């Protein structure tokens, strides 16, 4: 994910400095080459050796030491960094950056960088609320610095409130976003994912094997690329993606209602959910008792959400999926036409490495002009980005 990226991780002196160790682990695990700079105060909380061991790079602490070696360290690091992250960023560091003060290795390198700087503040709640701090943050935001807001919680100083460093996982997500070109800014995406559950009685339901992985990958990728994303999801075991408006639903009927309520505000809809085509005619109020050797369950058709969306599409881009087990392309072509979508993503869910639950997918992309793309097996993350690339291209064609 971050292979080939050089990230400078600045650590300033707060109790949350230990969380920077976990952030470093996430960054290196994703393939980034991380160079850590610690302030003097940060070294009171965590030793440079911890960061050096995990980053496999020397940790920079002293501006003059590196200069003595003939390497103008702050300039070379500033020049090479794809991204500069400071986590935790104290009120002191933010104040210095806002005022253009460069008096140590961290502030000097940050001032010299021409790339993006992402700050994750952590401090006492009253410091965070202080008007001077807020003005400093506002000033840095105006100059293009990015922030990962702190969260509410019990603070080390004994107070409770806003000022706690955001979790390393979420800072990591913001790092991915900061490193991704924002080519979907202005698009409002509605993504559906996961299975639906059609209740038979209070303990049983009809459903399918969808894990939600495909739809969640699309939602995450679109958020990173700058879109505003709403994810309508059936029940899954996946964590809610960060940055996305999450709308949980159970049944196809609930998904229909949620999608119809939201679609008016959306410029793109991507329907990756595996929606039940039928539901029981009657949902029993009590657990059905065992009777006889066989039983018949009468089903009634659910409304087809995608088909409904296709009826009044306007300039909205509509992407459908087709989960097939035979005659992939001819079935998919029928769905493309009948549901009036701009792009249809077809997968044969019986193929190894494709479809339900797995981390990869093998898709065919079908267009209205008859073109078919077959990119072969890809991670669901890569499939998500491919679909979004095609959405961006369709939008350009539409505008062009």
356 is an interface residue for ligand PMT by CB under 6 A? yes
At closest approach, how far in Å is the CB of 324 from ligand PMT?
7
| Residues 266 and 190 sit within 8 Å (Cβ to Cβ) | yes
Per-residue three-class SS string for 47-94: CHHHHHHHHCCCCECCHHHHHHCCCCHHHHHHHHCCEEEEEEECHHHH
Binding range to ligand PMT, per CB under 6 A, among 37-45, 169-177, 205-213, 367-375? 205-213
206 is an interface residue for ligand PMT by CB under 6 A? no
For ligand PMT, how many residues bind (rule: CB under 6 A)?
27
321 is an interface residue for ligand PMT by CB under 6 A? yes
322 is an interface residue for ligand PMT by CB under 6 A? yes
Please name the helix (run of DSSP H) or strand (run of DSSP E) that holds residue 171, with its range, or none.
helix 168-178
| Residues 172 and 27 sit within 8 Å (Cβ to Cβ) | yes
How far is the C-alpha of 37 from the C-alpha of 49, rounded, in Å?
A: 12
Binding range to ligand PMT, per CB under 6 A, among 122-130, 140-148, 267-275, 365-373? 267-275
At closest approach, how far in Å is the CB of 98 from ligand PMT?
44
How far is the C-alpha of 354 from the C-alpha of 369, rounded, in Å?
A: 25
Q: Closest CB to ligand PMT among 76 and 340?
A: 340
306 is an interface residue for ligand PMT by CB under 6 A? yes
| Residues 317 and 388 sit within 8 Å (Cβ to Cβ) | no
273 is an interface residue for ligand PMT by CB under 6 A? yes
Beta strand extents in 243-400 (DSSP E only):
245-248, 268-271, 278-280, 299-301, 317-324, 343-348, 360-367, 372-379
Tell me which of 67, 132, 157, 203 is the catalytic residue: 157
Options 73, 212, 234, 241; binder of ligand PMT; rule CB under 6 A: 212
At closest approach, how far in Å is the CB of 116 from ligand PMT?
32
Distance of CA 73 to the CA centre of its chain: 34
Q: Closest CB to ligand PMT among 58 and 353?
A: 353
CA dihedral 99, 104, 109, 112 (to 10 degrees): 50
278 is an interface residue for ligand PMT by CB under 6 A? no
How far is the C-alpha of 24 from the C-alpha of 54, rounded, in Å?
A: 7
Q: Closest CB to ligand PMT among 224 and 339?
A: 339
Angle at 92 between CA 91 and CA 93, to 5 degrees: 95
Options 302, 310, 317, 391; binder of ligand PMT; rule CB under 6 A: 302
Residues 6+ apart with CB under 8 A from 202: 284, 285, 286, 287
98 is an interface residue for ligand PMT by CB under 6 A? no
Residues 6+ apart with CB under 8 A from 211: 194, 236, 237, 238, 356, 357
Considering just the CA atoms, what is the radius of gyration of the chain in Å? 25
At closest approach, how far in Å is the CB of 260 from ligand PMT?
11
Options 53, 325, 357, 398; binder of ligand PMT; rule CB under 6 A: 357
Binding to ligand PMT, residues 226-265 (CB under 6 A): 252
197 is an interface residue for ligand PMT by CB under 6 A? no
Active-site annotation holds for 157: yes
Binding mask 334-353 for ligand PMT (x = CB under 6 A): -x-----------x-x----
* Contact residues: ligand PMT, CB under 6 A: 210-214, 252, 271-275, 277, 302, 304-306, 320-323, 335, 347, 349, 355-357, 361
């Amino acid at each position: 994910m971050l292979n080939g990226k050089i990230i400078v991780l600045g650590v300033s002196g707060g109790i949350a400095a230990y969380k920077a160790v976990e952030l470093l682990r996430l960054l290196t695990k994703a393939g980034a080459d991380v160079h850590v700079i610690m302030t003097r105060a940060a070294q009171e909380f965590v030793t440079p050796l911890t960061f050096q061991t995990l980053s496999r790079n020397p940790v920079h602490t002293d501006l003059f030491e590196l200069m003595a070696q003939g390497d103008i360290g702050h300039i070379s690091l500033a020049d090479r960094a794809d991204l500069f992250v400071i986590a935790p960023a104290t009120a002191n560091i933010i104040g210095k950056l806002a005022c253009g003060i460069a008096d140590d290795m961290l502030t000097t390198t940050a001032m010299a960088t021409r790339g993006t700087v992402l700050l994750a503040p952590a401090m006492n709640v009253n410091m965070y609320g202080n008007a001077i701090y807020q003005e400093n943050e506002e000033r840095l935001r105006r100059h293009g610095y990015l922030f990962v807001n702190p969260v509410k919680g019990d603070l080390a100083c004994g107070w409770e409130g806003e000022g706690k460093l955001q979790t390393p996982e979420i800072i990591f997500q913001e790092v991915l976003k900061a490193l991704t070109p924002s080519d979907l800014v202005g698009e409002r995406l509605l993504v559906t994912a996961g299975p639906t559950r059609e209740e038979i009685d209070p303990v049983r339901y009809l459903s399918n094997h969808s894990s939600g992985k495909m739809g969640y990958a699309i939602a995450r990728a679109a958020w990173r690329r700058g879109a505003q994303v709403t994810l309508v999801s059936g029940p899954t075991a996946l964590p809610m993606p960060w940055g996305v408006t999450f709308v949980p639903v159970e049944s196809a009927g609930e998904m229909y209602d949620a999608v119809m309520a939201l679609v008016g505000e959306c410029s793109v809809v991507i329907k990756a959910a595996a929606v039940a085509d039928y539901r029981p005619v009657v949902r029993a109020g009590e657990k059905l008792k065992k009777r006889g050797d066989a039983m018949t369950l009468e089903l009634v058709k659910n409304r087809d959400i995608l088909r409904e969306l296709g009826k009044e599409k306007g300039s909205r881009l509509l992407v459908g999926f087709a989960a097939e087990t035979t005659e992939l392309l001819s079935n998919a072509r029928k769905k493309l036409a009948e549901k009036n979508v701009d792009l249809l993503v077809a997968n044969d869910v019986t193929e190894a490495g494709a479809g339900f639950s797995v981390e990869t997918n093998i898709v065919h992309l079908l267009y209205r002009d008859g073109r078919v793309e077959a990119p072969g097996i890809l991670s669901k993350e890569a499939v998500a980005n491919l679909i979004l690339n095609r959405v961006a291209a369709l939008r350009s064609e539409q505008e062009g």
